[in-house]
Amino acid sequence: MPEHNQQQVEKRLSGLYNNPNLWPNFVEYLDYHIEQQHKVLEQSDSSVGIQRAQGYIQALKKLKALENIVKKD
């Protein structure tokens, strides 16, 4: 796999967030998974489970912010 810098990869994804049919559905999908991970956080009884859910939520939120990140560049 060729090396890519972050900006190049983000710009190639512009078709996703610029598409009025795809982006809202993708965000809804991310929101659903964030909700699920919040439930995991509430119910987790181990620090490993909590850290895993926190990492998952962080990654999902980065994906949601992709549109704003790329538009400001």
User: Tens digit of pLDDT for each residue in 15-27?
Assistant: 888 888 999 999 9
User: Tens digit of pLDDT for each residue in 44-69?
Assistant: 999 999 999 999 999 999 999 987 87
- Its domain, for residue 52, covers 6-72
Give me Rg for the CA atoms of the chain: 15
Total domains in the fold of the chain: 1
Please report, for residues 31, 37, 48, 57, 71, the alpha-carbon distance to residue 67 in angstroms, rounded to integers and kept in the order given: 15, 22, 31, 17, 6
Q: Is residue 56 part of a domain?
A: yes
10, pLDDT greater than 90: no
User: What's the pLDDT at 19?
Assistant: 86
Q: Is residue 1 part of a domain?
A: no
Tokens for 19? Answer: 């598409």
Alpha carbon dihedral 27, 29, 32, 37, in 10-degree steps, equals -100
Q: Is residue 22 part of a domain?
A: yes
34, pLDDT greater than 80: yes
Q: Is residue 60 part of a domain?
A: yes
Tell me which residue of 34, 30, 31 sits closest to 55, measured CA to CA: 34
